[in-house]
Amino acid sequence: MITLGIDIGSRNTKIVFYDTSKQSILFSAFNATEVNPLQSVQSLLKQAKDIYGLDLPDTIACTGYGRKLWKGTNKIFSEITCHTAGVLYFVPKVRTIIDVGGQDAKIISLTPEGKIKDFVMNDKCAAGTGRFLEMVANRLEVSLDELSELAQQSKNTLTISSTCVVFAESEIIGMIAKNTAPADIAYAAHISVAKRIITQLSAVDFIPPLVFTGGVAQNKDLVQCLSGLLNTPIITPPNPEITGALGAAILLSQMEEFS
């Protein structure tokens, strides 16, 4: 049997076709969430059909900000449970999950058995999320991928003191006006985000292994900054963007087994 997990996020939409018998991913993809999120889903489903001949299955689960939009959904799951299930697929021994997306950041603490023990979520402030890094990239006139590469060229450690995106942007504008090296600004932004994540981590009883997931986890320099400040290795799944959609598909498959 095949289950489909759909994660309609604030910035990106993700889908995963999951083979329940082989417990393997058949197809996964993501794209930017459009003004009409359902168009984003349809575009991804077309890719699955055109590339792999995958038709829309009867068993569909949704998560994310737009989880209630898809009318053909069999089950709706919370982002916390989905990201947990998705990360456990890649790293069964994970004890703490750091999930940073476009508009929010979540810390999930797990028991040795992989059950959710505690979690904290920041969805009120863009600082410490992908939106903050997008702002920095725009100011430096680089892509998000280039921002990570740029930060790794930094030769000086600067500090962005503001914890608000609006004020932090003013700081960055001031740095640019003083002809500060873009690489140093990029690195300072990553340190700022890493410190915000650590503040969230301090609110739970976090234990290694730590897994960093969500779209922001693709930023290698940020992962290095976080690992360095914590003095702890940080694991990133092979495709951190899809863990929510994967978890939705897995959770639905587990329900189907016992239905």
**Is position 17 within any domain?**
yes
pLDDT of 20 strictly over 90: yes
Q: Residue 255's domain is classified under what CATH number?
A: 3.30.420.40
* 53 shares a domain with 178: no
Model pLDDT for residues 63-98, shown as the tens digit of each residue? 998 999 998 899 999 999 999 999 999 999 999 999
What's the rounded mean pLDDT across residues 203-213? Answer: 94
* 204 shares a domain with 254: no
Of the pLDDT bands very low, low, confident and very high (cuts 50, 70, 90), residue 118 is very high
**Is position 68 within any domain?**
yes
* 192 shares a domain with 152: yes
* 120 shares a domain with 70: no
Note the pTM of the prediction, 2 decimals. Answer: 0.92
Per-residue pLDDT at 54 = 96
* 139 shares a domain with 86: no
Helices 79-90 and 243-257 sit at what angle, rounded to 10 degrees? 90
Per-residue pLDDT at 127 = 73
In the chain, the number of structural domains is 2
- For 26, the 3-state DSSP assignment is strand
DSSP per position, 87-105: HHHH-TT--EEEEE-SS-E
Which residues lie below 8 Å from residue 23, measured CB to CB, with a gap of 6+?
none
Model pLDDT for residues 124-145, shown as the tens digit of each residue? 677 778 888 999 999 999 998 8
* 161 shares a domain with 56: no
* 179 shares a domain with 79: no
* 78 shares a domain with 172: no
Place of tokens 């290698």: 220
**Is position 258 within any domain?**
yes
Mean pLDDT (the chain) is 92
* 248 shares a domain with 215: no
**Is position 97 within any domain?**
no
* 220 shares a domain with 127: yes
Of the pLDDT bands very low, low, confident and very high (cuts 50, 70, 90), residue 255 is confident
Domain, as residue range, for 106: 102-236
Per-residue pLDDT at 102 = 80
Dist. CA 36–CA 34, nearest whole Å: 5
* 170 shares a domain with 128: yes
* 79 shares a domain with 10: yes
